Amino acid sequence: MQNSLDRALGLDAADKLSGFRQQFHIPVNKDGKEKIYFCGNSLGLQPRSTKAYLEQELDDWARLGVDGHLDGKNPWLPYHEALSAPMARVVGAHPSEVVVMNSLTVNLHLLMVSFYRPDAKRYKILIEHTTFPSDIYAVKSQLRFHGLDPDEALLFLQPSEGNMLIEKQDIDKVLEAEGEQIALILLGGVNYYTGQYFDLRYITEQGHRYGCVVGFDLAHGAGNIEPDLHQCGADFALWCTYKYMNSGPGSLSGIFVHERHADWGEQPRFEGWWGTNKKERFMMKPQFQSLPGAEGWQLSNPPIMAMAPVRASLEIFEAAGMPALRTKSKEMVEFALSCLDEIDGDKINILVPDDPDSRGCQISLQVKNADKELFRYLEAHDVISDWREPDVIRIAPVPLYNTFSEIFHFSEILKAGLTKI
C-alpha cells in the first residue's frame, strides 16, 4: 500500500506546496495531456508570470527609451540589486555576498582569476572525478594560462574502490596526501552525474585547515538544496539559474563571495565599470573604486531582458521558501526510492546516497550495458528525463511543480520498460 497510487494521491492532497504547480507551464503531448517532466535539473519549467515580467521591460523600453534606466516601473540602473536579497535567501548568504551577472563558465573564470593564485609550492586544483565537462575545460585552461601542466596540477577526488559516491574519508585521504600543494578545492555542491549533495561545511573546514581556498559550483544545487554558503564558510561559489531556478535556457549566473573577502583592494581581479563606486560611476573617472562585496566583481551593466525571468522565478521562491521546498524534496525522493525498491537490479543501479541529507532532487539511474533503449521507452511514454553519458538516466522530481502521483506513474512506466529491454 505504501507505494500505491492511493498513497501518492494522499501525499499530494497533504502537500502544502501543491498550488505552485499551477504557476508553471507544463509540457503536453500531441493529445494535450501533460507529460511527466523530470528534467528540472537540466532546464526548469517556465513560470506563467515570466511573460508579464518581460513585457513590462519591453513596454518601458518602448515607452521611455533610455529614460527606462531611471523612470521605468523597475528602473534598470539598480535592477540587479532587487535580485540580491531573494537570491541570497535561496543559497544562504548575506545580500552583499551575492550578485547575479554573466553566465556560469564566464563567472567561473572571473572567480578563478581572483581565487586561484598558484605559487611554486601550492599550485594544484582538486575537483571531483565526475566533474561537469565545462568546469574541467575551464580549470585546465586556467592551469595552462598559469604555465602549468594539467596532467600534473589537476587532481581528481575519487571514491573508494567499488563505490560511486564520495565519502568524508575520501576527502581526508586526498588532503592528507596533497593538501599542502593544493591551492584550490573546486567541487560541485551537487554532483551532476550521481546527484550526490556534498557536505559543504566539512569540505570547507578541512580545506581551510590545510590552507586551501574552497569554492563550489552549485549549478545543480541552487534552488535544489540549502547550501548555507555564509555559514559553511566557502570562499566563493557560483551557479546558473536555468535549472532549478527556472529562468530560461542559457540564463544568467549568480556568484557568492564570502564577506571576509568584501574589501578586495588591489588583489588580482578583472574589473569593469559596474563594479565601481555607484555614486561616481557616471563621472567617467579613470580610477576604479571597487564596490564592497560581490558587486565588485561585476563588469558590465546588467542585461535587463535576461534578469526579468530571474526576478519572476525568485518571486515564486520567496513565496514557497527554501526550507519547505527542501523538506518536500526529501519526501519526494524517499517516496520515489520506495516505488523503485523492487526494480530489476541486474538492469539498473540506483545512484543515490543512503543519507537523505546527502541527496538533492536528482535520482540517477545507472543503466547496465549503457543501453539507451530504456531512455527511449520513457520518452515514448511521455516522461521527460535526460541521458548523461556513458550510462545514466537522470530524473529530478522538483518540489515546485512535480507531484507524488507523477512519481508513482513514472515508476510504473519504468518497470514496464524494464520488462521490454
Total domains present in the chain: 2
In the predicted structure, residue 132 carries a pLDDT above the cut 60: yes
- Chain segment 245-260, per-residue pLDDT in tens: 999 999 999 999 999 9
Residue 2 confidence (pLDDT)? 57
Whether residue 390 has a cis bond before it, omega within 30° of 0 = yes
Indicate the pLDDT class of residue 346, thresholds 50, 70 and 90.
confident
Residue 1 confidence (pLDDT)? 47
CA distance 139 to 108: 9
Question: Do 272 and 348 have their domain in common?
Answer: no
- Which residue range forms the structural domain that includes residue 277? 78-318
The verdict on residue 32 lying in a domain is yes
In the predicted structure, residue 314 carries a pLDDT above the cut 90: yes
Residue finishing a domain among 287, 318, 349: 318
pTM over 0.75: yes
User: Which CATH number covers residue 160?
Assistant: 3.40.640.10
CA distance 94 to 9: 39
CA distance 217 to 227: 11
Q: What is the pLDDT averaged over residues 200-215?
A: 98
Question: Do 121 and 191 have their domain in common?
Answer: yes
Question: Do 312 and 325 have their domain in common?
Answer: no
Question: Do 408 and 294 have their domain in common?
Answer: no
The verdict on residue 65 lying in a domain is no
Indicate the pLDDT class of residue 343, thresholds 50, 70 and 90.
confident
Least trusted range by pLDDT, from 76-85, 253-262, 360-369:
360-369
Residue finishing a domain among 296, 318, 340: 318
Question: Quick check: 113 and 269 in contact, CB under 8 A?
Answer: yes
The verdict on residue 158 lying in a domain is yes
Question: Quick check: 101 and 297 in contact, CB under 8 A?
Answer: yes
Question: Do 198 and 309 have their domain in common?
Answer: yes
CA distance 225 to 249: 21
Give percent of the chain with pLDDT exceeding 90: 93
Question: Quick check: 257 and 294 in contact, CB under 8 A?
Answer: yes
- Chain segment 14-71, per-residue pLDDT in tens: 999 999 999 999 999 999 999 999 999 999 999 999 999 999 999 999 999 999 999 9
Question: Do 309 and 326 have their domain in common?
Answer: no
Indicate the pLDDT class of residue 371, thresholds 50, 70 and 90.
confident
- Chain segment 133-183, per-residue pLDDT in tens: 999 999 999 999 999 999 999 999 999 998 989 999 999 999 999 999 999
Question: Quick check: 169 and 160 in contact, CB under 8 A?
Answer: yes
User: Which CATH number covers residue 30?
Assistant: 3.90.1150.10
- Give 210: exposed, middle or buried? Use CB within 10 Å, 0-12, 13-18, 19+: middle
Residue 3 confidence (pLDDT)? 64
CA distance 298 to 275: 5
Phi and psi at 269, nearest 5°, equal: -170, 140
Q: Which of 403, 65, 100, 374 is nearest to 245 (CA)?
A: 100
Question: Quick check: 251 and 240 in contact, CB under 8 A?
Answer: yes
Question: Do 362 and 332 have their domain in common?
Answer: yes
